Chains A and B, each alone.
Chain A
Amino acid sequence: MTCRLCGLDHRSVRLAPGETARCTRCDGLLAKGRHGGDFPLVICVTGLVLALPACFLPFISAGKLGAERISTLFTGVGALWDNGMRALAVLVLLCGALLPILLLCTLAVLQAPARVGRWIASPELLARAARSLELGAIPEVQVLAVLVALMKLGTQVNVTIGPAFWCYCAMSFCLLLAQRGFDQGAFSERPPERGALKES
């Protein structure tokens, strides 16, 4: 097991649930002991199930002087796209919806085969993909943004929170739990070193 922060190699050890392994050189977190065998997989599948209503049911509805507007998770993306801010629309779509769902899928694929007694060909590659997806999958930031927006709108419009928002919040929570429960060390391989360390 290699520390991703300082590159020091460590011997793998089995961790009890709740235990953490830290690098002996930089004190960075190497791995965490997982709770319960099926819990991370269950939480991934739950998150994926919740993603469906989060994407397609009404997210928030707003009304003003008889006019009503119902938004879904993708309404803001569409508005930005129509506004000519297409790159921004794609960014919001990726960070708020596609990458979180893809990350949940990746984590589920990594953990499902072991539960059914089968192994995937290159789990290290998928684990590294999951680590990359973590950078862009930020549904919790979108949840905070929506809460800030609701406070900001305040008394200007009548706002009703739709079922999709609650599903989205629950999906975000599942993703956080799945990430915490995912044992990166179990699938990690030594990454190719960059810069000075590659050559030295």
Chain B
Amino acid sequence: MKRASMGLSLKGTSAATALAVAAALMLVPANLLPVLTTDQAGKNRDDTILSGAIELWKHGLGAISVIVITASIIIPILKLAGLGWIIVSVRRGPPKNARRLTRVYAALDFIGRWSMLDVFLAAFLTGLVQFGELTMVEARSGIVAFAAAVILTVLATQAFDPRTLWAAGPAPLPAPSP
């Protein structure tokens, strides 16, 4: 019975695994391709996520740079790493640290949304900064790949059922002492 249950758990994590792998693959073009092009008085400048954040740092906007790097680079990687850890733990058998993994899952579920920051940023700048030959900002293909990576990460998190962590049915927490 336990063996059959584990087999079904593995089947349940397959979709999450596939989506997480797709998200990891999509993060490569997302970070290598330019996300924004700025045309200022005839001078073109392409920025990737990282180069844009570094540029902010160089202009003395360290805090903003840290926010962008955290939301656009660190969170997606952390989320995929966390999800990978959970999926591998489930595939190895009933996890002994199910409570900790459940907390990690809840945290991943919460932080994922903040990765959309760069997508909104690109959309906003593309809409606002349109001054013909003076200054123009245009979104580039990197932002599409990045948005796809974020969506795939969210879908991977949702595809994983955290209840599979408890398939073996560990005992409830001890009742709090009066």
A residues neighboring B (CB under 8 Å): 4-8, 24-28, 60, 62, 64-65, 67, 69, 71, 75-80, 83, 85, 87-89, 91-92, 95-96, 135, 138, 141-142, 144-146, 148-149, 151-154, 156-157, 193-200
Interface residues of B (CB under 8 A from A): 1, 4-9, 11-13, 40, 56, 59, 61, 64, 67-68, 98-99, 102-103, 105-106, 113-114, 116-121, 123-132, 134-135, 138-139, 143-144, 147, 151, 154, 158, 161-167, 170-173, 175
The smallest C-beta distance from B82 to any residue of chain A, in angstroms, reads 15
Out of B123, B163, B170, which one reaches A80, CB within 8 Å? B123
CB neighbours (8 Å) of A95 from chain B are 116, 120
Inter-chain contacts of A69 with B (CB < 8 A): 128-131
Known: A27-B173, A149-B121. A141 touches B116 (CB 8 A): yes
On chain A, the residues within 8 Å of B64 by CB distance are 148, 151-152
- CB pair B1 A200 closer than 8 Å: yes
Residue of A nearest to B173 (CB): A24
- B172 to A8, Cβ gap below 8 A? yes
Most buried by B among A27, A71, A76, A157: A76
Bound-complex Cα distance A89 to B163 (A): 35
Q: B129: which of A141, A154, A157 is its contact (CB, 8 Å)?
A: A157
Q: Which residues of B contact A78 (CB under 8 A)?
A: 127
The 9 closest A-B pairs by CB, nearest first: A195-B12, A76-B127, A145-B120, A76-B123, A75-B127, A196-B8, A7-B163, A196-B9, A79-B127
A197's partner among B59, B134, B167, B175 (CB-CB below 8 A) is B167
CB-contact partner of B123 in A87, A88, A148, A198, under 8 A? A88
